[in-house]
Amino acid sequence: MTTLACALRSGDWLTVARIKSYSWILLAVTVAAIAGWIALSDGLIDRNGKPLGTDFSNVYAAGVLTLQGQAADAYDPPLQHAMEKAVFDGRDVPFFGWHYPPFFFAIAAITALLPYAGGLALWVVSSLIAYLAVMRAILPRPQTLLVAAAFPAVFVNIGHGQNAFFTAALLGGALLLIDRRPWLAGILIGLLAYKPQFGVLIPVALVAGTRWPTIAAAAATVAALVAISFAVLGSDVWHAFFQSMSFTQNVVLEQGGTGWEKIQSAFSAARHWGADIRTAYTVQGLLALSLAAGLAWLWQSDAAIDLKASALASASLLATPYVLDYDLMVISVAIVFFVRHGLAHGFRDYEISLLAAAWIVPLLSRSIAGLTTIPLGLIVLIGLFALTLRRASTDRTTEISGEHVRIAQA
């Protein structure tokens, strides 16, 4: 075996010094890129004619419509686009659709209480702090904040003005608390309903693990969110939401309106390679069923909660056909729980190298898919999920062997 192969297998190449150096370099590049992008903008419009924070413009516009008592208009593309233009004094900015359930209007309205720049700052900074706090709580080590802040998906998410910091914080926080405070974990999972596509497999894991208090709290939270939104916004807004789902499915997902290279799913990869819609859904469905079977086995077992959490985080991304490159922020949850388990029990062959690949892949996934059609993000995620199941199986085998030795010695 070559020196490189040995290093990849053992993971010895990734020393603490290198982790720090790589993180500082990427963090410095991220800060410089963001600062330069803002400095080169024309007011609130960047050099490409898009609003700073791009996708946040749809959140802010929806918030303005909510404050004006016209929340349902956010689900009508022409009306939503008209408001996005109005936010920027009539400038012809691109359309960024509003696809969230009605209870997310509360967050949008809060940001719209401030001028656009202030709302964007509040949105990014508050969600970034929540993400970093959860990462530090899961793995309270000196390097955690540096590595979490330098994670390339942070730059992607900030550049898009997206909500993936919230998603990672809610899922990571729920999985951190699920043993000690199951009801609070359920509330956090219920709040994740603002991104319903990521909750497809969460019930599978919770039922397999007989996490009934968490299931009850999650269901109650979703019911409360729906009831409050009905009471405050009325039923028309829900009717508009359900009508808008066909636009999201047909234009954004099935026709690749955002670009196949940007959507990091099995469905998108199949479509990028020329498959028809039915075939692509079949591929996605088979993957989702495989993930569900793996999660059910893992969560009903006595495997470590860190491995269960890591697998659920990566499977949540893999199960949905609609996962974009900024959503890869959730990989941080899978990584940090796996790392916590490895630091406590040791790392096995190829684990460190694959974790490093998962950490860097958000920086490369879109460009590589665009140039080669290779879905690197999808491949790494599948590898990480499979590795987690392998680790759980190996740990169990080791424990059984150790128990047999102890019995024999006794």
CA distance 24 to 109: 36
31 beta partners: none
Q: Is residue 256 within 8 Å of 276, Cβ to Cβ?
A: no
For residue 381, give the nearest of 266, 304, 296, 289 by alpha carbon.
Answer: 266
CA distance 195 to 183: 20
For residue 165, give the nearest of 316, 333, 32 by alpha carbon.
Answer: 333
Give the chain's length.
410
Say if 31 falls within a structural domain.
yes
pTM for the model: 0.93
CB atoms within 10 A of CB 246: 9
Residue 61's pLDDT is 96
Q: Report residue 81 as tokens.
A: 């686009």
CB atoms within 10 A of CB 273: 13
Q: Is residue 214 within 8 Å of 178, Cβ to Cβ?
A: yes
CB atoms within 10 A of CB 40: 9
Say if 390 falls within a structural domain.
yes
CA distance 151 to 125: 16
Q: Which positions ≥6 away from 205 have C-beta within 8 Å?
A: 211, 295, 296, 298, 299, 308, 312
| Cα–Cα distances in angstroms (integers) from residue 368 to residues 115, 170, 197, 375, in the given order | 37, 29, 25, 7
What is the distance between the terminal CA atoms of the chain, rounded to a whole angstrom? 40
Question: CA angle at residue 300 from 213 to 180, to 5 degrees?
Answer: 40
Say if 291 falls within a structural domain.
yes
Say if 75 falls within a structural domain.
yes
For residue 291, give the nearest of 393, 170, 386, 372 by alpha carbon.
Answer: 386
| Cα–Cα distances in angstroms (integers) from residue 17 to residues 5, 12, 280, 347, 388, in the given order | 21, 12, 43, 18, 26
Residue 114: its H or E element:
none
Tally helices (H) and strands (E) across the chain: 19, 0
Residue 396's pLDDT is 78
| Cα–Cα distances in angstroms (integers) from residue 214 to residues 140, 173, 203, 208, 268, in the given order | 25, 13, 10, 12, 32
CA distance 238 to 362: 34
Residue 251's pLDDT is 67
CA distance 213 to 221: 12
Say if 59 falls within a structural domain.
yes
CA distance 399 to 302: 11
Residue 10's pLDDT is 86
* Diameter of the chain measured on Cα atoms: 81
3-state secondary structure of 42: strand
Total tally of structural domains belonging to the chain:
1
Burial label for 122, CB within 10 Å (0-12, 13-18, 19+), is middle
Say if 409 falls within a structural domain.
no
pLDDT tens digits, the chain, 410 residues: what are they? 578 788 888 888 888 999 999 999 999 999 999 999 999 888 899 888 999 999 999 999 999 999 999 999 999 999 999 999 999 988 889 999 899 999 999 999 999 999 999 999 999 999 999 999 999 999 999 899 999 999 999 999 999 999 999 999 999 999 999 999 999 999 999 999 999 989 999 999 999 999 999 999 999 999 999 999 999 999 999 999 988 887 777 766 777 777 888 889 999 999 999 999 999 999 999 999 999 999 999 999 999 999 999 999 999 999 999 898 999 999 999 999 999 999 999 999 999 999 999 999 999 999 998 899 999 999 999 999 999 999 999 987 765 544 444 544 44
Q: Is the dihedral of CA 134, 139, 140, 144 positive or negative?
A: negative
Domain that holds residue 156: 3-398
CA distance 185 to 182: 5
Say if 195 falls within a structural domain.
yes
Q: Report residue 311 as tokens.
A: 């697998």
CA distance 127 to 125: 6
CA distance 138 to 311: 15
Say if 326 falls within a structural domain.
yes
